[in-house]
Amino acid sequence: MALERTLSIIKPDAVAKNVIGQIYARFEQAGLKIVAAKMKQLSRQEAEGFYAVHSERPFFKALVDFMISGPVMISALEGENAVLAHRDLMGATNPKEAAPGTIRADFAESIDANAVHGSDAVDTAKVEIAYFFAATEVCPR
Ligand code: RTP
Ligand code: MG
């Protein structure tokens, strides 16, 4: 087992639904600890930079438009195998395909408005945490 950190974003649809606490409770029940957190209205430039890996994809503009449609809650989570543990809690990208009991099955409306983001690997998690948090804003290990 490996103690990892991962980046979580509670997206504008879930913030608007007022379910930040319910989603945080799922992280806590799964043994993930919040080691950094901030609520933020992303600028277009910030959202484009964050999802730069998708910049050539047909859904890129819709994704960025959605991510700046309201505030997001950004957190770094720590726990055993945190990257995969968090992805398991999130469920499939398309909520119609997400397993029952996952965050996306319970709170997401569509593949665009899908409630949460999670890093997809330990390496990308490091980059994504540093994208939003200065070293002094993250709890020391
Ligand atoms: P995320 O990065 O937000 O955690 O989502 P993910 O890993 O499950 O999915 P990813 O492939 O990284 O895609 C990022 C976001 O782009 C939107 N998307 N739309 N219309 C489409 O085919 C499509 N594919 C992806 C989703 O909102 C997804 O969360
Ligand atoms: Mg992704």
Return the pLDDT at 60.
98
With a 6 A CB cut-off, is 45 part of the ligand 1 pocket?
no
Residue-range domains of the chain with CATH: 3-134 (3.30.70.141)
Distance of alpha carbon 125 from alpha carbon 3, whole angstroms: 13
Which tokens hold the place of 20?
């930040």
Contact (CB, 8 A) for 36 and 66? no
Three-state secondary structure call for residue 114: coil
Question: What's 1-52 look like in SS3?
Answer: CCEEEEEEEECHHHHHCCCHHHHHHHHHHCCCEEEEEEEECCCHHHHHHHCH
Per-residue pLDDT tens digits for 14-53: 999 999 999 999 999 999 999 999 999 999 999 999 999 9
Closest ligand to Cα 63: 1
Query: What is the DSSP code string of 93-113?
Result: SSGGGSPTTSHHHHH--SSSS
pLDDT at 1 over 80: no
The residue annotated as part of the active site, out of 5, 26, 86, 117, is: 117
Which atom number of ligand 1 is nearest to the Cα of residue 112?
A: 27
The answer to whether the annotation marks 87 as part of a ligand binding site is yes
The span from the CA of 61 to the CA of 59, in Å, is: 6
pLDDT tens sequence across 51-107: 999 999 999 999 999 999 999 999 999 999 999 999 999 999 999 999 999 999 999
- pTM of model > 0.95: yes
Mean pLDDT for all residues in the chain: 98
Q: Is 114 annotated as a binding residue?
A: yes
